[in-house]
Structure 1
């Protein structure tokens, strides 16, 4: 049974990514790459993080993360703050402008996904809602 679940899961995830959750579309925000948007979204959930924490969360090595964060700082979306406890530690957080960009992205993402799902008929949407709720309930312990 586990092999069948894994097989179905391994088919489902790429299908979702390719057909519905197209990263290039879903994470589109002005002239930012998906990695930039991931950083903004991550920091919107966490008040402030260190570079290492961001790196670990979005699975990008520090040397690749630095130019991404630098661009977001240059655009005024993020700010660096030295730790009060340890001067070697720098915290990254959203600016007011960064928070506006996150809200702009969320609105865009909702509209984008709404367009995708509006292609489905009502019975299919109802079934999808029911089954997604069940999947969320089952997978909740893993989150």
Structure 2
């Protein structure tokens, strides 16, 4: 294992990376501007897209939202046609939530908008930097996915 000062240095670099990404590449305000639902609701949809149908309590835990606060979010998503609620067939006490086709379409639109914004930002780089980024990003993603 690396010495603590080197781990601290990596931590510092990651912190700067997050700040730079949010200020130069990924602007959440621009990304979620004009959406029919608030960003907090969109996070729930993205989480459901990643893990699939799941209990409301798991969503609340995963997103660090209290269960009482999660209920109105789920209710709004259902009312707007972005999610469906159903009983777990193995335990009817557990309420499950899943995405609808409307939610999948919205998430696809958000992804396309994000990619378009990224393309616009990346167009300012020269070929050498783009090639470096093309090689670094997948490797960085693979490493980050190992973090628990």
Normalised by the size of structure 2, how large is the TM-score? 0.83
Counting only pairs closer than 5 Å after superposition, residues 53-92 of structure 1 correspond to structure 2 as 53-92=58-97
Deviation at 1:77, TM superposition (A): 0.9
Instruction: Work out whether 1:31 is the aligned partner of 2:33.
Output: no
| CA–CA separation in structure 1 for the residues paired with 2:52 and 2:138 | 29
Counting only pairs closer than 5 Å after superposition, residues 1-143 of structure 1 correspond to structure 2 as 1-28=6-33, 30-142=35-147
Q: 1:137 to 1:49 in 2, by over 3 A?
A: closer
Q: 1:27 to 1:56 in 2, by over 3 A?
A: farther
Number of aligned residues: 143
Cα contact 1:28–1:34 (8 A) shared by 2: no
Q: 1:102 to 1:87 in 2, by over 3 A?
A: same
Deviation at 1:137, TM superposition (A): 4.0
RMSD in angstroms over aligned alpha carbons? 2.0
Structure 1 runs not aligned, ≥5 long: none
SS in 2 for 1:88: strand
Q: 1:23 to 1:83 in 2, by over 3 A?
A: same
Q: Deviations over 1:24-57 (max 9, x none)?
A: 2234462322221121122223331111111122
| CA–CA separation in structure 2 for the residues paired with 1:29 and 1:57 | 26
Cα contact 1:24–1:34 (8 A) shared by 2: no
Deviation at 1:139, TM superposition (A): 3.6
Structure 2 runs not aligned, ≥5 long: 1-5
